[in-house]
Structure 1
Amino acid sequence: MEKKSKKNPDCCSGHAKTVDTIHKVYSCPMKCEGEKVYSSEGRCPVCNMNLKEVNIDLNHAHDRHENIQNTHSEANGKYFCPMHCEGNKMYEKSGDCPVCGMHLVAAEVEGADDDTTYEVMKRKFRVALFLSIPVFIIAMSEFFSFLNLDLIATKYTWGWVEFVLATPVVFYSSGEFFIRGWKSIRTWNPNMWTLILIGVGSAYIFSVIALLMPGIFPDQFKDSVGNVHLYFEAAAVILTLVLLGQMLELKAHSKTNSAIKALLNLAPPIARRVNNGEEEEIPLENVQVGDILRVKPGEKVPVDGIIIAGTAFIDESMITGEPIPSEKYNNDKVTGGTINGKTSFDFKAVKVGSDTLLSQIIEMVNEASRSRAPIQKLADVVARYFVITVIAISLLTFVIWAVWGPEPAYAYAFINAVSVLIIACPCALGLATPVSIMVGTGRGAQSGVLVKNARSIEEMNKVDILIVDKTGTITEGKPSLQSYESFNKLTNIEILQLAASVDTFSEHPVAEAIVKGAKKNDIEFLQIESFESVTGKGVKAEYQGVRIGLGNKRLIEDFGLSLTKEQENRSSQKQLVGQTVMYLIVGSQVEGIISVSDKIKPTSIDAIKRLQKMSVKVLMLTGDNENTAKAVSRELNLDGYVADCLPEDKYNKVKELQEKGHIVAMAGDGINDAPALEQANVGIAMGTGTDIAMQSAEITLIKGDLNGIVRARELSIQVMRNIKQNLFFAFVYNAIGIPIAAGILFPFFGILLSPLIAAAAMSFSSVSVITNALRLRKV
């Protein structure tokens, strides 16, 4: 049972005591259910890991209305309405939406299927089916003379038998449907349950009154012996078909988040910790940052870390979407949840629990699956007026048949009006978008494409210009030192020594390349003072009271200096072959240059070609110089480039293109890309880049190459196509079904639609929408 948070009894009155306000509770280290906590030790009901002790301030917990759960109770988690009746409002308990009556969906996907609701629905369906079959046979007996039921009992007596059999179907098996319908009317949010309440409720109440008081009905409703025609079989069979549809829908819905469940199951429950050469198996949640862990052949990597001994071939396909195992050596990163090949290696744990990449992926996918795409507004607007329109059509149908229909006119009018109510299904409209988003975001995560919200999926489909950074996006982001030359009296080695000494304080990839190159040449680093990073230009410092600068031409201008023609020529020669040149300034002179080069990723050329075939123009914006940018652009056959870009230049370029009517995606991996990523219609961060870039972006590519953008574009196309198919089916289904149910074909072909067939069609519509969305799992 769920327990409420323990609170100090005086806290609400403003006189909270300071003692006993810190309470020990327990939470899952994988954050399977977000911030949910439990009151006692045990295992997580989702992933089966040992719960970890945490402390909470009960006064604050009271303010946040936190729930402390018993570990042996059923895991309730948090739930939301799939129809988004109140936006993304979350509910603490499972059940029905208080607005529309739809069954609430778990916000945090569990590692194992929770079939409780499905099993309850299946049990009720079996009871309904068992009782509805004899009701249907009794009602249809006049069409099957061989049954001879009239020889056993009178038609009036059989009416009572129908009543006894149909009533449990209405009140036991389907009672919650009528509660949902009443809620929808009370809150003025008409939906599918409103139509069932009115349609089936009318058929059942009509039959009960006809059974008890047949004399109040006109002769049109009676047979030759005065019995009024009953509709118990319609009520029972319709509700049985609705139960079948709900059961199939619940089963199909559980498959929509199968990708997230697969991700949850990636983390192994134990890890092998190495201590003084001895191995010991420990629960995954006990792994601490800094622990040395061993992974044997075929085992899963437990947490994120860095290899310190051995080599590995890691299968990262479940997270990155890349089927080819990745070779790992000393100091290479490994990711929790990936699978080791045929070797054994040791690594140091760097990120554990909710900080691991796997946990962050699961959290992001869960969040994205609950978000709403702009296209859903269309379905929301239609659904808002849909039920009212259907009720109006049903009333009009009754009037038309009652006035102009054949005898018995009122009987025809009643049955056709009920058929109109039953066949309409606004749920198909409401489910068309969210189920596709849920399946699509999960599939994207399996391919290394993390989507933050549904809006970005829709926008990615419209993108016509992609802006990419150079370093770390097009290139590997691991530049290497190429050359170092002196312009004046300093030796080449002294140029490298000064440059590397300044760059020891910088985290820029180019600085790392220069420092690494100096270490390879066994150069001794100097004591540098007053280090300062100048965004988009380079770095400044002092050595023995002399000002030193290392950066691009803009930094030279900051020092009030300029290059000679000879110096320009020497640097241009290196830039024309794609090298990045940094100028070393000492005092009031440009003393030399240092050049580095960054290899273009092997995947970049093919990815850019594929994007261009998708009608996406690819532009490169880089802080590098004109010559280097031109060389890279020519090699990749880009649609354009802009060199010498500061962060504000990238941001302004995005705005400029947007003002011209373009839908712009921006891909980058550095801190300086964050403003442009935020401004773009779709910001795409490389998973190999900085955290701030990933926070600013709406899509993150785990693998960190342009093929991920191709995948994101293809995913967007497929998801939006799937949503449009769902919406089209829902619209067309109702546009065709409602007129047929109203009897539009009767004057021409003598065809009427039975309410039973209407109920089967209504149940089929929602299931078909979900089934269509499930096709995205194979994209």
Structure 2
Amino acid sequence: MNSVATTSKTKPPRSRQRDRRQVSKKKKIGATGIYLRAIGDAFIKLSPGKAIKNPVMFLVWIATLITIAVTIDPALFGPVEQNNPQLFNGIVSGILFFTVWFANFAEALAEGRGKAQADTLRSSKSEITAKKLSADGAITEVSSTSLKQGDTVYVVAGDFIPADGEVVMGVASVDESAITGESAPVLKESGSDVASSVTGGTRIISDELIIRITADAGKGFVDRMIALVEGRERHKTPNEIALTVLLAVLCLICLFVVATLPAFAYTVKTPINVPILIALLVALIPTTIGGLLSTISIAGMDRIAQFNVIATSGRAVEASGDVNTLLLDKTGTITLGNRLAEDFIPINGHSMEEIANVAWIASVFDNTPEGKSILRLAERFGARVDFDPNHAEPVDFSATTRMSGTNLPGGREVRKGAVLAIKGFVRSRHGRETPELDLAYERVSQQGGTPLAVCLDREIYGVIHLKDIVKPGIRERFDQLRRMGVRIIMLTGDNQITAAVIAKEAGVDDFIAEASPEDKILVIQQEQQEGRLVAMTGDGNNDAPALAQANIGLAMNTGTQAAKEAANMVDLDSDPTKLIDIVSIGKQLLMTRGALTTFSLANDIAKYFALIPVIFAAANLQSLNVMQLTNTNTAILAVLTYNALAIPALIPLALKGVQFKPVTANKLLQRHILIYGLGGLILPFIAIKLIDLLITATGLF
């Protein structure tokens, strides 16, 4: 591979530095651009085809058109007994227009954040020249857009990876900052289950790789990310659809109630015209939550994206808020994950040097941090091995055998692995087991470590003590989730004793030891059959079936293509503990929707108490006018103005979400009723009275 010349066109270092400065400048002006884009998009959303998607605001949109018509011709629906009706009707039309526009602006602002992120991602994509390898090894320069699944390409330091793929040969450092935002390079190598997947648009900064393309042009990971964060594939979630239907039914009921009011007004001899009826209708329907409903859902996806997680749909984000069971791997999630060799325990009369020699040979082909730590420990204990790796055969680890090792010339076999697996291996070669092995096994397990047995042919030489550490603060985070009704199950390949020690220290609810990939699926299915929603993380091919089965599957960006495609979320930082944050964000989304729905419905009650006594003063309801509003016109304009301004006032809360607190559903309901229910009743009375005084001060009505 070193003989192949680099021919791909790359920018010189100064040019790349200039690009970085330009990107930094774009980020500074990005917020202004988002607001300007949202203002324009809010007008575009006024089109009937887009407006009809929101039944509440569509009703306000129709009401706006009617009031505009009545402004042009006040006698359109009959004679009007009102001073200066055109001015009043025109102001009502303007307020209703801005009510719809504010709702559109809120949604456009939430979408604008995704579009800005999509623009950043799109800037990392460009058509580049790829070095395509043919079957005979010849290299042909082609456009990256012409590459297809199954093609093989060659990249060297300085090249951009032309498309998504898997490394089939070589080891190299790759700069993935354009995708993950992390400047530290990532090591990519062939044969690794979690470090062989590469993403188109990233740049190789050292050495060289041969890559097999796994996605056609336009269907890569970045392309899917752009489509998702832009919102082109956003579909309403089940809860959002249910609430939309409920709001639509409420609108129909309100429409029926308002339609019957003229008959009541006739009996009490109170003239009531069309603009007043429209004002009553708009005040009655839940415009606040109707205008902010989609904004809350989009903002939830945006908060997930801010954690560097890409969700395939709003359904996945919402489902994370309903999760009852969290399925977590021990290594790297509950523990730090850098499981390293701590000690050797020789048995069966073997010396420390002998077990060190056998452990060294068993790990010589193991390139994992765990395997390298065994080599270092063996050398520290004086391992002296006359061994040529070129004349030996590596035996890779598998979930089935649960061991790895080396086949030596002459048919000798060296293995290291789970104690039960090594016992079975030795028995199959008519070897013997001793009580010493079980004692060493229990000694390591009771310390929370992982014991690996080491053997040469049918003779067991001893146990390697692998040590891992529970992450600081993980127990407190589990306690928070437990208070929200989430059950945590730990999965580990460790034995029962080790798993029990770690489970007690971490504070999980349950654990499954010596777990296989099939066990994950069985656990998920069992939890789902009991009516629970399950979330889990994964990164390898063997995790793909479980990720697909789980309600929330979080795949690591460093994981395989199969894992990413099976999951409904991808973590660009490859941090398994982020699943805990995702569950919290999902619950915050549901809390925000519940809080604003409570506030909106409470507002409606207050607005009707403000309007009804004034409008039907002739029916002896004036005594109920506790706010002492000036007259019908000022009361209507005050209520509609408050109704319109409530939407932009609540946009920051809809985008940011209510403050998240890990409490039970009952306590959460009490909190919403106390803060947003009671607040939603009191605030409108104060605001409407102040607006009424301002309108009265103008002397127009």
Shorter-chain TM-score range: 0.5 to 0.7
Contact 1:667 1:684 in 2 (8 A): yes
| Helix, strand or coil at the partner of 2:75 | helix
1:628 Cα deviation from its structure 2 partner? 3.1
**Structure 1 residues 607-663: Cα deviation after superposition (integer angstroms, max 9, x where no partner):** 332231342554422111234334434554544433222223333334445555655
1:360: Cα distance to partner?
A: 6.1
Q: In the alignment, what sits opposite 1:265?
A: 120
Alignment-derived partner of residue 208 in structure 1:
73
- Residue 652 of structure 1 corresponds to 522
Q: Does 1:607 align with 2:467?
A: no
Partner residue in 2 for 1:418: 278
Letter in 1 for 2:536: M
Deviation string 1:396-422 (CA, Å, 9 cap, x unpaired) is: 2111112213xxx33x25443232234
Distance in 2 between residues matched to 1:209 and 1:258, nearest whole Å? 40
CA distance 1:590–1:693, shift in 2 (3 Å): farther
Kindly provide the amino acid, as one letter, of the partner of residue 457 in structure 1.
V
Instruction: Provide the residue aligned with 1:772 in structure 2.
Output: 653
Contact 2:487 2:509 in 1 (8 A): yes
Paired letter, 2:358: I
Cα distance change of structure 1 residues 199 and 431 upon mapping to structure 2, 3 Å threshold:
closer
1:599-678 map, 5 Å: 599-600=468-469, 604-615=471-482, 616=486, 618-658=488-528, 663-678=533-548
1:445 matches 2:305? yes
| 2:98 alignment counterpart | 244
User: What amino acid is aligned across from residue 241 of structure 1 in structure 2?
Assistant: I
Letter in 2 for 1:651: I
Q: Is the counterpart of residue 197 in structure 1 residue 47 in structure 2?
A: no
Q: Which residue of 1 aligns with 2:132?
A: none
Deviation at 1:449, TM superposition (A): 3.6
Aligned to 2:682: none
Deviation string 1:740-760 (CA, Å, 9 cap, x unpaired) is 545577312375366544543
**Residue 397 in structure 1 maps to residue 266 in structure 2:** no
User: Which amino acid is 1:763 matched to?
Assistant: A
Kindly indicate whether residue 632 of structure 2 is the aligned counterpart of residue 752 of structure 1: yes
1:537 maps to 402
Q: 1:290 to 1:456 in 2, by over 3 A?
A: same
Q: Which amino acid aligns with 1:773?
A: A
> Which structure shows the bigger proportion of residues in helix conformation?
2
Structure 1 range deviating more: 349-358 or 531-540: 349-358
C-alpha separation between the residues in 1 aligned to 2:562 and 2:188?
A: 27
Aligned to 1:279: none
Matched, 1:552 2:410: no
* 1:578 and 1:597 in contact (8 A); partners too: no
Match of 2:581 in 1: 711
Q: Is the 8 A contact 1:271 1:293 kept in 2?
A: no
- Can you give the 5+ residue segments of structure 2 that lack an aligned partner in the other structure? 1-21, 24-29, 130-142, 190-194, 661-701
What's the secondary structure of 1:653's corresponding residue? helix
Change (3 A) 1:778 1:620: closer
- Relative to structure 1, the CA distance from residue 366 to residue 653 in structure 2 (aligned partners, 3 Å threshold; closer, same or farther) is same
In structure 2, do the counterparts of structure 1 residues 710 and 209 end up closer, same or farther at CA, with 3 Å as the change threshold?
closer
- Counterpart in the other structure of 1:725: 595
C-alpha separation between the residues in 1 aligned to 2:273 and 2:178?
Answer: 60
Corresponding position of 1:26: none
Cα separation, 1, equivalents of 2:473 and 2:490: 16
User: How has the CA–CA distance of structure 1 residues 556 and 310 changed in structure 2, closer, same or farther, with 3 Å as cutoff?
Assistant: closer
2:494 is paired with a residue whose SS is coil
Is 1:470 the equivalent of 2:345?
no
In 1, the alpha carbon distance for the partners of 2:239 and 2:583 equals 17
**Does the C-alpha gap of structure 1 residues 245 and 460 become closer, same or farther in structure 2, counting only changes over 3 Å?**
same
The alignment-based identity, stated in percent, is 18
Does the 8 Å contact 2:235/2:314 carry over to 1? yes
- Encode CA deviations 1:416-446: one digit per residue, 9 max, x unaligned: 3232234355664444443122223223222
Q: CA 1:585 to 1:599, structure 2 compared with 1: closer, same or farther past 3 Å? A: closer
- Range with bigger deviation, 544-553 or 713-722: 544-553
| CA distance in structure 2 between the aligned counterparts of 1:624 and 1:739, rounded to whole angstroms | 65
Shift of 1:565: 1.0
Which residue, 309, 317, 338 being the options, matches 1:457?
317
Where does residue 495 of structure 1 map in the other structure? 358
Higher relative contact order (CA 8 A, sep 6+): 2
On the 8 A contact 1:607/1:710 being kept in 2, the answer is no
**CA distance, structure 2, for counterparts of residue 522 and residue 739 of structure 1:** 93
Secondary structure, counterpart of 2:472 in structure 1: helix
Q: Distance in 2 between matches of 1:662 and 1:455?
A: 16
Question: Is contact 2:444–2:465 with CA below 8 Å preserved after alignment?
Answer: no
Per-residue CA shift, 1:369-417, capped at 9, x if unaligned?
A: 8243343144122123133222212112111112213xxx33x254432
Distance 1:516 1:363 in 2: 47
- The answer to whether the Cα contact below 8 Å between 1:423 and 1:738 also exists between their aligned partners in 2 is yes
State the distance in 1 between where 2:374 and 2:646 align.
63
Once residues 550 and 372 of structure 2 are traced to their aligned partners in structure 1, the CA distance between those partners, rounded to angstroms, is 29
- What is the match of residue 78 of structure 1? none
Moved more, 483-492 or 729-738: 483-492
Q: Give 1:528 shift.
A: 3.5
Give TM-score scaled by structure 2 length. Answer: 0.64
2:236 — aligned with what? Answer: 372
Determine the C-alpha separation between the residues in 1 that align with 2:218 and 2:119: 12
Deviations 1:478-508 (A, max 9, x none): 544554857589954663466347x66xx98
- Give secondary structure in 2 for the equivalent of 1:666: strand
**Equivalent-residue separation in structure 2 for 1:679 and 1:121 (angstroms):** 39
> Do the aligned partners of 1:480 and 1:517 also contact (CA within 8 Å) in 2?
no
Mapped partners of 1:696, 1:637: distance in 2: 29
Distance 1:269 1:566, change over 3 A: closer
Question: Are 1:473 and 1:669, in contact at CA under 8 Å, matched by a contact in 2?
Answer: no
Alignment RMSD: 5.7
Q: Is the 8 A contact 1:682 1:699 kept in 2?
A: yes
- 1:524 corresponds to which letter in structure 2? D
Classify 1:415/1:449 alpha carbon distance in 2 versus 1 (closer, same or farther; 3 Å).
closer
Which whole-Å CA distance do the structure 1 matches of 2:515 and 2:44 have between them?
Answer: 66
1:192 alignment partner AA: M
Deviation at 1:706, TM superposition (A): 5.5
Matched residue type, 1:566: E
Which among 597, 614, 619 is matched to residue 466 of structure 2? 597
Q: Deviations over 1:461-493 (max 9, x none)?
A: 344543321233234545445548575899546
User: Does structure 1 conserve the Cα–Cα contact (< 8 Å) formed by 2:228 and 2:234?
Assistant: no
Match of 2:644 among 753, 763, 770: 763
Q: Deviations over 1:99-156 (max 9, x none)?
A: xxxxxxxxxx9996595784597799xxxxxxxxxxxxxxxxxxxxxxxxxxxxxxxx
The amino acid across from 1:393 in the alignment is V
Matched to 1:643, the amino acid is A
| C-alpha distance in 2 between matches for 1:713 and 1:121 | 31
Secondary structure of the 1:372 match is coil
Q: Is the contact between residue 88 and residue 633 of structure 2 (CA under 8 Å) also seen in structure 1?
A: no
Over 3 Å counting, the alpha-carbon distance change for 1:335 and 1:766 in structure 2 is farther
Partners of 2:161 and 2:658 in 1: CA distance: 25
Secondary structure of the corresponding residue to residue 444 of structure 1? helix
Aligned residues: 578
CA distance 1:529–1:713, shift in 2 (3 Å):
closer
The farther-off stretch of 617-626 and 696-705 is 696-705
Unaligned runs of 5+ in 1: 1-47, 50-108, 125-173, 223-227, 274-282
Distance, in Å, in 1 between the alignment partners of 2:564 and 2:186 is 24
